[in-house]
Structure 1
Amino acid sequence: MSERGEGVIERGGRTSTVTAGRAAAAAGVAPGARPVPVGRVYRFELVKLLSQWRIRLLVLACWSAPGLFTAAVAQQGTLPSDTLFGRWMHATGWAGPLVVLGFAGSWALPLLTSVVAGDVFAAEDRLGTWRHLLVTVRSPRRIFAAKALAGATVIVLLTAGLAASSTVGGLAAVGDEPLVGVDGHLLAPSDAAVSVLLAWACALAPTLALAALGLLGSVLLGRSPMGLLVPALAAVAMQLAQLLPLPVALRLALPGYAFVAWNGLFADPGRLDEPLIAVAVALLWAAAATAAAYLLFVRRDFTTGSEDGVGRRTLLAGVLPLAGLLALTTGALAVATPSSGSGITQAKVQQEVATVFAHLYRLQTEQLHRPAVTEADLRATADCRRGDGQVEPEGPGNDWRCVVTWHLPGTDAPGTAVYQLDVASDGRLTADGDGPKEVNGYFLVRTPTGDAPNPLWQFDGQVALLASPTSTTNSTKG
């Protein structure tokens, strides 16, 4: 179908689909008139978006509120320790943008995509301005491209504001200090900066996927305000799914997993397989939803003002491709990835607990000014079980119990410490020290940024859901 627009007759005696050339001719425009370049239409659509008061308020909020939040929390006595990296907000300014990223992936970014992308086409339906826009531009293809690009530009601008503001606020309030990774090792400030930037870049992929779903909903539902809810509802559905003990392949096939897959960037060595797969899946969803919205949009009949969207009969045309993509990616990942079930096994939990403990033990030793040791000297291992050995030691749950054993140079008797674990469905684990008090009890230690709780008292970790060749290293089997 050319941009000048020949009508395409549907099979079965249905009405013809009229493109921009026919709509323009019906309005009295010469059929040979050339369409307006995409760049000019894009600038026009971008100005339209940025002229809306709600978009301007969102830009102002995204570029200021996260910085104020991170600066304020860093000065409080109580930290958001229930979020990953929240317990380190007093220690380094690089923890702030990661806490904001965790919140943004759950709530802020889905809502932003709803406001921006969920209404970009529906607004024209409510105002009845499609015929005027088509007469001016003379190409529905270029209108779609300009609107999609303008919406994506605003969303990127808002996401960049969240990242930049939270980073500036954290660094200004706490300082450019090393960051403790998900496996307990210290990242130098320069390494932390690169990892934080990559983490936000990972989160941009599922944000664009939600934006594409917003475009599709806006095209499908016409002037109905329900189009605004499509990205938010999709995000909530994916969050609820991530709370379930899903198979690894299905979990990674959901575009929302990229909102948490960036955790692997803060391990040593970096666990890049899950973030790369999650980003690729999210971009596939963005491309598929955008393509479905485009195909439905260019087949609309713009010569009558009675049509609202593309009609309910075409809902399947927008939903079935995404359902097929989910099935296809799930099957491909099931074949390509060696993990099965939830991906949380006893060996992986033991390895993660032992690794984090060894790194943090070194940190505690340094803070208490004791003789330095290395992870190789400690030879830390962990024995983890569920339900006092009455439950199969795999899968998520808050009934994990681990006994960590380590050795100090020059001593024959090993040291032991007990932890109660809560392992989430996405692989995040939270360990709570259960003795001995002088090792993992609550007491303050002096750090470069002030007194802080004992790093071995409570700590976070991240179980790699995908199997790796070292999945049983440094772990003992129960």
Structure 2
Amino acid sequence: MPVARAYRFELVKLVSQWRIRLLVLACWIAPAGFVAAVSRQSTLPVDTLFGRWMHATGWAGPLVVLGFAGTWALPLLTSVVAGDVFACEDRLGTWRHLLVAVRSPRRIFAAKALAGLTVILLLVAGLACSSAAGGLVSVGDQSLVGLDGHLLAPGEAAVHVLLAWVCVLAPTLALAAVGLLGSVVLWRSPMGLLLPALVALAMQLAQMLPLPVAVRLALPGYAFIAWNGLFTRPAQLGPLLIGVAVSLVWAVAATALALLLFLRRDFTNPADDGSGRRAVTAGLLPLAGLVAVTVAVLAAATPATVTGSGIRQAGVERSLATAFAHLYRMQTRQLNRPAVTEAQLRATAACTKGDVGDGAQGAGNDWHCVVTWHLPGVEATGTAVYQLDVTSDGRFVADGDGPKEVNGYFLVRTPDGDAPNPLWQFDGNVELLDHPMKG
């Protein structure tokens, strides 16, 4: 049986399973309903990236879903599909019949891997298309506010949303390859089914710890959050490209290990359920070694940028001032005031972290910043106070603390009525790599 016929056979087997059909149906329907329902609520998920803009544009919805998918949905989906693609044959005892029909372990592996990949891509496409459709139908095709406060026109927002979903395919493939490896190594053990989700959970916990940037970038899960850099101007492509590259290396390495172990398997011994020793020596140790090598390469390539957390005082001040300047112009248009440019505003920020006034760095909710700006023809300097909560991945939430007429209240009074104040609370992103790595 050639690979094409074996692939069609394996694909039919997969989609004939009731749980796969339910997953496909849910991925193509549920996100649209979720985005439409949330967009009509008075309370938005402001603790989720782009959640505060779901009333303003339909393009915020798919990004909110993407954040949830990278954390929970995609690891679970890859577990269900890739983590069981080989183990199901062990539970059913059908390896002998499959080998007689196909006659080539290589073809079996290729057909199963391609069938699982096809279903995973179908699920990801459903999440992206459904959430975008729900947002556009319920809210509309308006401009999207980026993470540095600049406006993305509807067409530009659509391209960036699509690129963000394409970028998370790389870590999804890495988890799928880990699922294939677990399914081959652990056979009928249920741990093979859980392996991608457990690996993803471990990487999420690692991203929450105060680890050096090199360690963060060396984990394939970083690409699940690095797409944030697409929504700044200029785009922060350095961490994103590194994250995608690391994920693809993981996908190739884990798939190669799975193929090697599959070809060495003795299918004449149905009593063998796999061994914990083989799982460690053939699965865990090579991937741990890959992380160590990647950390060493990144540390050697950019020694000045990866030795610490990457969250430095200068970067926080630069990101906050840039976002404030863009959002101040938005507030100016809301209030029908004379137009002003970022160059005219000359916005700057001065930040401290706790008791540290010079050289502050690291994540935390104790960042205190004062933004200053200038208006043409006005001698007085404007000031605004912000409290920042900076997470370990560089994302921050700026909470306005006065003056009231600038950022101290969540509404502003416009000629058309009260409207959300863009300067009251907003999200931002600190670039963890220094300027030479900028995209």
Normalising by structure 1, report the TM-score.
0.89
Residue in 1 that maps onto 2:218: 253
1:318 counterpart residue number: 283
Partner of 2:315: 348
1:253-309 CA deviation, whole Å, 9 max, x = no partner? 000000000000011111111111100000101111111111001100112322224
- What residue is the counterpart of 1:293 in the other structure? 258
Give the match for residue 248 of structure 2.
Answer: 283
Find 1:456's aligned residue among 395, 419, 423. 423
Tell me what 1:382 maps to. 349
| Structure number with bigger Rg | 1
| Alignment correspondent of 1:102 | 67
Give the deviation of 1:442 after TM superposition.
1.6
Give the match's secondary structure for 2:362: coil
CA shift in 2, pair 1:123/1:470, >3 Å: closer
Q: Partner amino acid for 2:130?
A: S
Residue deviations 1:153-193 (CA, integer Å, cap 9, x gap):
10010000000000000000110000000000000111100
* Partner Cα distance (2:436, 2:343) in 1: 19
Cα separation, 1, equivalents of 2:247 and 2:419: 39
Structure 2 residue 134 is the aligned partner of structure 1 residue 164: no
For residue 357 of structure 1, the aligned residue among 308, 321, 324 is: 324
Could you give the per-residue CA deviations for residues 29-60 of structure 1, whole angstroms, max 9, x where no partner exists?
xxxxxxx1101000000000000000000000
1:406 is matched with which residue? Answer: 373
Question: 1:49 aligned to 14, 30, 44, which one?
Answer: 14
User: How big is the shift at 1:452?
Assistant: 3.6
Q: Secondary structure at the match of 1:78?
A: coil
1:424-443 matched pairs, under 5 angstroms: 424-443=391-410
Q: 2:390 aligns with which of 399, 405, 423?
A: 423
Give the aligned partner of residue 64 of structure 1: 29
SS in 2 for 1:190: helix
Report deviation, 1:388.
3.8
Which of the residues 186, 197, 214 maps onto 1:221? 186
CA contact (8 A) 2:238 2:437 kept: no
For 1:139, the aligned partner's letter is S
**Contact 1:222 / 1:308 at 8 angstroms: preserved in 2?**
yes
**Among candidates 52, 75, 78, match of residue 40 of structure 2:** 75
1:450 shift after superposition: 8.6
* Structure-2 change in CA distance of 1:394 and 1:227 (3 Å): same
Supply the distance in 2 between the matched residues of 1:54 and 1:249 (Cα, whole angstroms): 39
Shift in Å, 1:436: 0.4
**Counterpart in 2 of 1:370?**
337
Give per-residue Cα distances to partners, 1:36-95, cap 9 Å, x unaligned.
110100000000000000000000000000001111111000000001100000000000
1:148-187, aligned counterparts within 5 Å?
148-187=113-152
Match of 1:88, as an amino acid?
Answer: W
Amino acid at match of 2:154: P
1:192-239 superposed Cα distances (whole Å, 9 cap, x missing partner): 001000000111111111111111111111111111110110011000
Aligned mates of 1:284, 1:452 — CA distance in 2: 47
User: Alignment partner of 2:58: what SS?
Assistant: coil
* Distance in 2 between residues matched to 1:56 and 1:198, nearest whole Å: 27
Instruction: Tell me how far apart the structure 2 counterparts of residues 216 and 405 of structure 1 sit (CA, whole Å).
Output: 54
**What SS class does the counterpart of residue 426 from structure 2 fall into?**
strand
Gaps of 5+ in 1: 1-35, 472-478
Residue equivalent to 1:18? none
- Aligned residues of 2:312 and 2:359 also touching (Cα < 8 A): no
CA-based RMSD of the aligned residues comes to 1.7
Post-superposition offset of 1:445: 4.1
Q: Per the alignment, do residues 151 and 449 of structure 1 end up closer, same or farther by CA in structure 2, a change over 3 Å counting?
A: farther
Determine whether 1:334 maps to 2:295: no
Partners of 1:225 and 1:438 lie apart in 2 by 58
The C-alpha deviation readout for 1:429-468, integer Å capped at 9, x for no partner, is 1000000000002242479999542000001100000111
CA pair 120-447 structure 1, distance change in 2 beyond 3 A: farther
1:313 partner amino acid: R
2:363 aligns with one of 393, 396, 399: 396
1:290–1:450 Cα change, 3 Å:
farther
Which runs of 5 or more structure 2 residues have no equivalent in the other structure?
Answer: none
1:201 & 1:208 partners in 2: Cα distance? 11
1:312 offset after TM fit, Å? Answer: 3.0
Which amino acid in the other structure matches residue 277 of structure 2?
R
Corresponding letter in the other structure for 2:351: C
Aligned counterpart, 2:235: 270
Q: What code does the residue aligned with 2:164 have?
A: A
Report Cα offsets for 1:137-156 as digits up to 9, x if no partner: 00011100110110011001
Determine the C-alpha separation between the residues in 2 that align with 1:387 and 1:237.
30
Q: Distance in 2 between matches of 1:470 and 1:408?
A: 33
Q: Is the 8 A contact 1:58 1:158 kept in 2?
A: yes
Q: Would you say the 8 A contact 1:212–1:289 is kept in 2? A: yes
| SS of aligned partner of 1:419 | strand
Alignment of 1:183-262 (within 5 A): 183-262=148-227
Equivalent pair of 1:90/1:449 in contact (CA under 8 Å): no
- Alignment check: 8 A CA contact 1:442 1:453 kept: no
Distance 1:356 1:291 in 2: 44
Q: Look up the equivalent residue of 1:185 and give its one-letter code.
A: H
| Partner SS, residue 405 of structure 2 | helix
Q: Secondary structure at the match of 1:360?
A: helix
